Amino acid sequence: MAIAAQAPDILGERQSGQDVRTQNVMACQAVANIVKSSLGPVGLDKMLVDDIGDVTITNDGATILKMLEVEHPAAKVLVELAELQDREVGDGTTSVVIVAAEFLKRANDLVRNKIHPTSIISGFRLAMREACKYVEEKLAVKVEKLGKDSLVNCAKTSMSSKLIAGDSDFFANLVVEAVLAVKMTNARGEVRYPIKGINVLKAHGKSARDSYLLNGYALNTGRAAQGMPLRVSPAKIACLDFNLQKTKMQLGVQVLVTDPRELEKIRQREADMTKERIEKLLKAGANYFVEAGAIAVRRVRKEDMRHVAKATGATMVSTFADMEGEETFDSSLLGFADEVVEERIADDDVVLIKGTKSTSAVSMILRGANDYMLDEMERALHDALSIVKRTLESNTVVAGGGAVEAALSVYLEYLATTLGSREQLAIAEFAEALLIIPKVLAVNAAKDATELVAKLRAYHHTAQTKADKKHFSNMGLDLLNGTVRNNLEAGVIEPAMSKVKIIQFATEAAITILRIDDMIKLMKDESQNEE
């Protein structure tokens, strides 16, 4: 029931207490239900059509939610949550939304049973801390123990729910090679894998299995003029962030011409200025441009330009002007590469920069039947690349397929019984809520969820109570056969960090929404506009 606020200053409606909470929870459930069916290796895809008729076919949680125009303020929190997960980890966007919505639903039930939101919030926070500690101490396995295969398996697990799941062996190796190729050590001596240096080019034609890895940074444009050579080696590269074409006089400069022949001189001078600029570049050593037997590429995307500058050690230049007002170009601003070459991929010309100086750059050339397929392949590979990067940087993995959630559920349920405070109920509900992941996985695979989850919990209970059965803690679901198996041995693994972040982010989002007990919708004051 909406109560119009009586205060003279507030124009609008106000809802408070349980009404708001129920509404918020329903809105979040609605969002979670949209992405629910896309979770897991047998998840289904969504077709999204925007207002101008563009179609996107995907099952990437963050992409689906970004394209939905969500109006409800509480549901927007879940959309931002998926984006945060995408930024921080790169994968697990669907899981985090489903878990957050389930936390909320259960918290709302507790509030209805007269438990104060503050008690629930402190219980959830405690459960979150304990869960993250348990994952890191008891469930995480060091990557060294599993060898290089673990990276390939992480990539395969990430791809299992995507369009390219059928070719996951092929793509997983491609992804691992690409991530290992961009390995670098930063100034502090830490090993980093900047996956932004992996350029993904999409080319129509052939099948997905004809995709391949190129050593070098590929620019999706050809040479600026046909007379330029196809290859320059070794190459010195200048990155210019301004227009090199004919210089125009500055705005506000008035030129009074009395003799029409003078006009030609002005034009000539404008052309000469461009020529001088190019000569300055060539003098500094950049081997680009036609007469000098060099290659130039124009209209390069800003992002590509940044990557090329970083990979070749060049400095992006936005003007030639120096402190004295003269135009100069110093050779120290150039970048270096073994060769720059133009090749033809499908029907497009691409310029490849190979053997870059500072960081090695690689490009993935994706082949596929049509745009929808290529776009979805790119999204799948983005997730897989992020996951391999996280695995390499954090060095710990956990078993997938609902194993972690089941283990945490059993552990937290036991923990709740040891507490004599109000938080006990909140932690028990938190534990129950985590089971939503194995449940949804089983439902999506058309298997009996109740039976499978019960079996899974029995294994994890044994693992935590009997010292000789510790290995049972890696038991997860095998969704193709509808059984429970050791997922660590089966190669269904994910970075431990991904799971920890899912729990942290989902809890925080649920708490944010649970705190709300009043919603005031303001309306515009029409009377002021009329004055």
Q: How many CB atoms lie within 10 A of CB 195?
A: 18
Across 151-175, average pLDDT:
87
The H or E element that residue 368 is part of is strand 362-368
pLDDT number for residue 505 = 94
Give the pLDDT band (50/70/90) at residue 322: low
Q: The tokens 């997922």 sit on which residue?
A: 487
What burial class does residue 394 get, using C-beta atoms within 10 Å of its C-beta: 0-12 exposed, 13-18 middle, 19+ buried? middle
Q: What is the mean pLDDT of the chain?
A: 83
Q: How many CB atoms lie within 10 A of CB 220?
A: 18
Q: The tokens 């998840």 sit on which residue?
A: 43
The H or E element that residue 312 is part of is helix 302-312
Buried/exposed 300-328: b ≥16 CB within 10 Å, e otherwise: beeebbebbbbbbbbebbeebeeeeeeee
List, as one string, the DSSP characters of 461-520: HHHHH-GGGGGGGGEEEETTTTEEEEHHHHT-EEEHHHHHHHHHHHHHHHHHHHT--EEE
pLDDT(5) > 50: no
- The per-residue pLDDT for range 64-99, each reduced to its tens digit, is 988 888 888 888 889 999 999 988 888 889 999 999
- The per-residue pLDDT for range 171-185, each reduced to its tens digit, is 899 998 888 888 877
Buried/exposed 360-393: b ≥16 CB within 10 Å, e otherwise: bbbbbbbbbeeebbbbbbebbbbbbbbbbbbbbe
Helix (H, G, I), strand (E, B) or coil at 25: helix
Output the CA torsion 261→263→265→268 (10° steps). Answer: -130
pLDDT number for residue 439 = 93
Q: Can you read off the two tokens belonging to residue 410?
A: 């059993």
Active site positions, annotated: 60, 93-94, 383
pLDDT(8) > 70: no
Give the pLDDT band (50/70/90) at residue 472: confident
Q: How far apart are CA 495 and CA 388, in angstroms?
A: 8
Q: What does each C-alpha distance from 218 to 197, 311, 337 come to in angstroms? A: 11, 12, 13
Q: How far apart are CA 503 and CA 127, in angstroms?
A: 10
Q: What does each C-alpha distance from 184 to 232, 313, 335, 393, 512 come to in angstroms? A: 26, 14, 18, 12, 38
pLDDT(387) > 70: yes
pLDDT number for residue 345 = 76
Q: Can you read off the two tokens belonging to residue 422?
A: 């109000």
Assigned superfamily of 217-359: GroEL (3.50.7.10)
What burial class does residue 142 get, using C-beta atoms within 10 Å of its C-beta: 0-12 exposed, 13-18 middle, 19+ buried? exposed
Q: The tokens 């123990």 sit on which residue?
A: 145
Across 300-305, average pLDDT:
78
Please report, as a single letter, which amino acid is at residue 197: G
pLDDT(476) > 80: yes
Please report, as a single letter, which amino acid is at residue 251: L
Q: What is residue 125's DSSP assignment? A: H
Please report, as a single letter, which amino acid is at residue 495: P
- Residue 463, sorted as left (phi over 0), alpha (psi -120 to 50) or beta, turns out to be alpha
**Segments making up each domain of the chain, as ranges:** 217-359
Pairing of strands 198-204, 362-368: parallel
Helix (H, G, I), strand (E, B) or coil at 85: helix
User: Dihedral of CA 270/272/278/281: which sign?
Assistant: negative
- The per-residue pLDDT for range 388-440, each reduced to its tens digit, is 988 888 888 899 888 999 999 999 999 999 988 888 999 999 999 999 999 99
